[in-house]
Structure 1
Amino acid sequence: MTEQPGGLVLNLECTIEAPPERVFRLLTDPAELVTWWGPRGFTTPEAELNLSEGGAYRLSMQPPDGDLFHLAGEFFEIDPPHRLVYTFRWEEPTPDDRETVVTLTLKTVGDATQLTLSQGEFATEERLALHRDGWTESFEKLAYAAQSGM
């Protein structure tokens, strides 16, 4: 996992030992998404996705010790298995939350996938750091799910 500088835009990159088609399916199939989404200890009881440009999604997230919360957004671009662009907003936002845009790019590297994430722009460094930690742990879970499902 590497992080690139970018002000209040989060940029992460990781390599997943699975082909892009498998990784893209894990990112977009609700039954697959709920197996890995969220930081360590979190579960995703529900995932609703209308995987079409302009289509909406909504995820329910359950922290280990806390109340269920939700995030939602709309898809801007869907190019399987290469690119996915969508908005990201908390349904119960804190004052420092704002809607951001997530861009996920998948590139074949040998037998693996290089997954690049860009998300922003964040209102504060604290919100960027929260998302950095969440995505980093989520990508670790994604890598495990990609390998265990092959």
Structure 2
Amino acid sequence: MGNYSTITLTMKREFDVAPEKVFDAWINPEMMRKWLFTLEGTNKVAQNTPQVGGTWEIVDHRGGKDYRAIGEYLEMDPPKKLVFTFKMPELSGNDLADTITVELKKLQQTSEMTFTQVIHVMHEENWTESDIEKAHIEWRDSTEQGWHYMFMGLKELLETGKISYTG
């Protein structure tokens, strides 16, 4: 395994539901299979053991391939905070897991979610500082775009009970 560096992505979202509902969407397999790294129509597996030290797994089937996302729960403080690891073994090519922190707080009529992901960026041999900087921008932008779409689905699911886009 080569060298790597990390970057941090932070995103905030508001939902018109209580923090308990948002927290549940992160750990309830029936909710997870509708939005987290998958869609209900393409999901093959959504399972977890929602406790510190427990694991989670999502398998999404698209374009004739299975995409697997896995991790371990590191911290749980319902409904305020959830910390877990994340990796996609078939895509990452390394054993490093990112760390995701979801913090929730109740506002007057809504919930605010602060999402933070520490992303591992693998370096190729002979990369310069400029190459590393470029890779950081690309990884951050593509990761942010992926979460943006997932959070759009999460908002729709939480506020209407379903996601209109099914893949």
- TM-score normalised over the length of structure 2: 0.76
Write out aligned runs for 1:29-48 (5 A).
Answer: 29-38=28-37, 43-48=42-47
In the TM superposition, residue 96 of structure 1 has moved relative to its aligned partner by 7.6
The SS at the match of 1:18 is: coil
Larger fraction in helix: 2
RMSD, matched Cα: 2.4
Match of 1:86 in 2: 84
Give the corresponding residue for 2:13: 14
Correspondence for 1:145: 157
Q: Percent identity?
A: 24
The code of the aligned residue for 1:8 comes to: I
Q: Hey, what does 1:25 align to over in structure 2?
A: 24
Call closer, same or farther: CA 1:140–1:97 in 2, change over 3 Å: farther
- 1:14 alignment partner, SS class: strand
Contact 2:57/2:70 (<8 A) preserved: yes
Deviation (angstroms), 1:129:
2.2
Give the letter for the 1:130 counterpart. Answer: S
| Counterpart contact for 2:34–2:40, Cα < 8 Å | no
Q: Name 1:3's counterpart in structure 2.
A: none
Question: Which structure: larger Rg?
Answer: 2
What is the number of residues matched between the two proteins?
143
What TM-score does the superposition give when structure 1 sets the normalisation length?
0.84
* Amino acid of the structure 1 residue aligned with 2:36: W
Matched with 1:129 is 141
**Against the structure 1 CA distance between its residues 41 and 111, is the aligned structure 2 distance closer, same or farther, given a 3 Å change threshold?**
same
Match of 1:4 in 2: none
Q: After TM superposition, give the deviation of residue 17 of structure 1 in Å.
A: 1.0
